[in-house]
Chain A
Amino acid sequence: EDQVTQSPEALRLQEGESSSLNCSYTVSGLRGLFWYRQDPGKGPEFLFTLYSAGEEKEKERLKATLTKKESFLHITAPKPEDSATYLCAVQGYGGSQGNLIFGKGTKLSVKP
């Protein structure tokens, strides 16, 4: 069964304090791993797709990396506007009918 586990559930940072969010996954053949950002009262907003181990992608203060078992979302020198819930999802070739399976998310709070 395809599964996604995100940690920690919540993370509080001071502005400028870098950290990482973890996404551990099990999937029957990885088609893609996705990171989304969700602000309160809104739908998830796409950030990155990673397809194979060793791949990295960056966008402003965010950098996503991928291994065969987990992905990290590194946040460098975060700002208060980075506060949001970050969702990780996987899509496999076989299980779960090839649909997106989401983790429960990490709620990030960045204090000025």
Chain B
Amino acid sequence: NAGVTQTPKFQVLKTGQSMTLQCAQDMNHNSMYWYRQDPGMGLRLIYYSASEGTTDKGEVPNGYNVSRLNKREFSLRLESAAPSQTSVYFCASPQGRATEAFFGQGTRLTVV
């Protein structure tokens, strides 16, 4: 039982390049989330999807786009990477409202 799987684990981009972070969950959950974690800032919500076919902005959505491809997959895209997007990105999926969220192992992204 893999839970939440993120790819890639590490990535280095040049400023202006684009990339897509992939997330898949095998728990048949409706909700999926993308967070970024920066030193001294804690986990901040970028985008979330309450169900297949819906997406909404979180606290820090600028510079990102998302796609809920199906119930299993939720991708995060950086169209034109900036150094300020250097961070660790986590995908998460809760079982339901006010229940535990399962996190992936994270993607460590560096933009130079």
Find chain B residues with CB under 8 A from A100 CB.
Answer: 33, 43, 45, 94, 101
State the majority secondary structure of interface residues on B.
strand
Interface contact B103-A43, CB-CB below 8 Å: yes
Of A34, A99, A103, which is within 8 A of B58 by CB?
A99
Say how far B65's CB is from chain A's closest CB, in angstroms.
Answer: 18
Of A41, A98, A102, which is within 8 A of B97 by CB?
A98
Docked CA distance A34–B103 (Å): 14
Given contacts A43-B90, A43-B103, A43-B105, contact A31 B43 (CB under 8 A): no
Interface contact B40-A49, CB-CB below 8 Å: no
**CB-nearest residue of chain A to B41:** A104
How many residues of A are in contact with the other chain, CB < 8 A?
23
Say how far A41's CB is from chain B's closest CB, in angstroms.
Answer: 8
Given contacts A99-B45, A102-B42, contact A34 B104 (CB under 8 A): no
Interface contact B48-A99, CB-CB below 8 Å: yes
Residues 25-73 (chain B) with a chain A CB within 8 angstroms: 33, 35, 40-45, 48, 56, 58-59
Interface contact A43-B106, CB-CB below 8 Å: yes
Of B42, B58, B98, which is within 8 A of A51 by CB?
B98
The bracket for how many chain B residues form the interface is 20 to 34
Say how far A11's CB is from chain B's closest CB, in angstroms.
Answer: 16
Of A44, A91, A104, which is within 8 A of B40 by CB?
A104
Find chain B residues with CB under 8 A from A58 CB.
Answer: none
Interface contact B98-A32, CB-CB below 8 Å: yes
Given contacts A42-B105, A46-B102, contact A105 B42 (CB under 8 A): yes
Interface contact A49-B58, CB-CB below 8 Å: no
Residues 58-112 (chain A) with a chain B CB within 8 angstroms: 87, 89, 91, 96-100, 102-105
Interface contact A104-B98, CB-CB below 8 Å: no
Docked CA distance A45–B103 (Å): 7
Say how far A69's CB is from chain B's closest CB, in angstroms.
Answer: 19
A residues lining the B interface (CB < 8 Å): 31-32, 34, 41-46, 49, 51, 87, 89, 91, 96-100, 102-105
A-B contact pairs, 8 of them (CB 8 A): A34-B100, A49-B100, A100-B33, A100-B45, A100-B94, A100-B101, A102-B44, A105-B42
